[in-house]
Structure 1
Amino acid sequence: MDEECEPQTHTKLLQPWKILIADDDISVHDTTLLALAGVRIHNRPLEFLHAYSAKEAHQVLLENTDMSLVLLDVVMETVDAGLKLVGVIRNELDLKNLRIVLRTGQPGYAPEQQVNTEFAIDAYTTKSKLTRSILISVLNDTLSVSPPATGYPN
């Protein structure tokens, strides 16, 4: 009888991927939620937190040490607010395992090749080319690269 309960228990133990949507455009938050409604990545559900500025994203990360991934806009309070936040995440907060997917609507401010070589990010997308299937594929690939962030180092 215990063997029958084991698969259920295992499923219940699968914690959701905690994903921060950091973007100053509320419609990006709404469309992301709509596109990812009911989606599971590696058999785990998704849980979303929201920030509408880099400053707010920084605060959310301070309060949520178990974040798995950040969907990060480049242009928010300033044209490079998202890029500056990458530095804060990697250096000040020392979150080396936190996955970062840059999403930009203005690729001229953050050219993909330059960003990929200068910043410690896991993926780069332009909003204009980002479809539901591409977003799911990016999350699937990014969340399988390494183990989820375990929080802040002691």
Structure 2
Amino acid sequence: MQDTELFADDELLFTGEEVEERPVKKAKPWRVLVVDDEPDIHTMTQMVLGDYSFEGRKLEFISAFTGEESLNILKKDHEIAVVLLDVVMETSTAGLDVARRIRTFVNNQFVRIILRTGQPGVAPEHKVITELDINDYWQKAELTSQRLTTSITTALRSYRDLRKIEQNRVSLAQLAMSVAHQIRNRTMTITGFANLATRKLDQESDIAKYLETISEESGRLEEVVGSVSDYASIDNCDHQNSEIFPLLEEVIIEIKKFAANLDKNVEFDISLKHAVIDGRPDLFKKAIEELMKNAVIFSDESSPRVELSVQVDSELCQIKVIDNGSGIDDADLPYIYDPFFTKRPEAVGMGLSIVRRVIEGYNWTLDYSKEGRNGAVFTLIIPI
């Protein structure tokens, strides 16, 4: 009787249980933008690549039939991995214009661009590959299913690697910010206690002089930490329309204060113009401010002079910062944008590194030249 009851209990324990099934999360597909004015090309591309997958992820297709339509999509969708781009659409060079504007005006350095053309004479391969930042170039008549698959695989692998590099850069920047915060807390403590100890000592005491040195070095360390924080905080060069005229006026006010603190009676020659650029106002100001500080510091000691001028045409804004100092030695030119490179013992050497970080984030151009025999000329070129 007892055995029967035990058996019955066992049956109740192990029957009727339902295992909860958890839905398997599907991997996000790779987003591919097909840009072509022929609807049949869109259909054919999706048919050929319909079963394709890379690293367990399928493809999701977005269609655009004109160059302008594709640019509007790319401005809003930052997860597109590959653009399959026709050359001849609303104009004979529409695709080439789109490829150029993706890197400049849209400022997307990650998306991979594969050009396809049915009229190779319009865009010779050597000229296109040399002048444009694209990843592959095919004539439609030569683009077999196998070649298209290979080209897509290469493009996606490149896109994946670039994204990983960017993620690592962001992680490193976050680490730098955390370390800088911790160091700043310690330097403030060191400086605070050094100042307290100094008040309890005779000012002529050797120990008081040592404590003063500790305070000074702590202050310099804080400057280093501040510069590293400024550099690391440039984590996202967002798209934003900015009118540069009032921003430059604000920079000039700050730079005149900076020159006064250095006891340099700088003669400023300012020529500003109105222009709207694609860039965050704070990052634009930071770049110009660092260039202007550099010009003030290295301007002539006896009669310092700094020039800031703006030239604007239909496509480009050109900003020049010129000083009348001795210029940069040719031997130092390869290193001027490196972090902590400086010829001044009291300086940090992060100013031009910060400038480079901003211009690379927005794909602007910065050129250096000499003003006659003396002086440095930095020319910042920004697409309108």
Confirm or deny a common fold (TM above 0.5): yes
Q: Count residues with an aligned counterpart.
A: 144
What is the aligned-residue identity percentage?
36
Distance in 2 between residues matched to 1:41 and 1:136, nearest whole Å: 10
Taking only aligned residues, the RMSD between alpha carbons, in angstroms, comes to 1.8
Query: 2:119 matched to which residue of 1?
Result: 106
Structure 2: gaps (5+ residues):
1-20, 167-235, 239-384
- Give yes or no for contact 1:41–1:139 (8 Å, CA) kept in 2: no
Q: Would you say 1:59 and 2:67 are equivalent positions?
A: no
Q: Residues 146, 50 of structure 1: CA spacing in aligned structure 2 closer, same or farther, 3 A cutoff? A: closer
Query: 2:82 matched to which residue of 1?
Result: 69
Give TM-score, length-normalised by structure 2: 0.36
- Give yes or no for contact 1:42–1:140 (8 Å, CA) kept in 2: no
State the one-letter code of the partner of 1:51. Answer: A
Query: 1:127 matched to which residue of 2?
Result: 140
Distance in 1 between residues matched to 2:31 and 2:65, nearest whole Å: 17
Give TM-score, length-normalised by structure 1: 0.87
Distance in 1 between residues matched to 2:102 and 2:237, nearest whole Å: 13
Looking at both structures, which has the greater relative contact order when contacts are Cα pairs under 8 Å and sequence separation is at least 6? 1
By how many angstroms is 1:60 displaced? 1.3
State the one-letter code of the partner of 1:103. Answer: R
Q: Would you say 1:21 and 2:31 are equivalent positions?
A: no
Please give the secondary structure, in 2, of the residue aligned with 1:34: helix
- Give yes or no for contact 1:103–1:127 (8 Å, CA) kept in 2: yes
Structure 1: gaps (5+ residues):
none
Stretches of 4+ aligned residues off by more than 4 angstroms: none
- Give yes or no for contact 2:30–2:59 (8 Å, CA) kept in 1: yes
- Give yes or no for contact 1:100–1:121 (8 Å, CA) kept in 2: yes
Distance in 2 between residues matched to 1:118 and 1:20, nearest whole Å: 22
Q: Would you say 1:43 and 2:56 are equivalent positions?
A: yes
Please give the secondary structure, in 2, of the residue aligned with 1:92: coil
Query: 2:150 matched to which residue of 1?
Result: 137
Higher Cα Rg: structure 1 or 2? 2
Listed one character per residue, the Cα deviations across residues 96-148 of structure 1 (whole Å, up to 9, x for unaligned) are 11100000111111111111000000111110011111100100111112436
Query: 1:117 matched to which residue of 2?
Result: 130
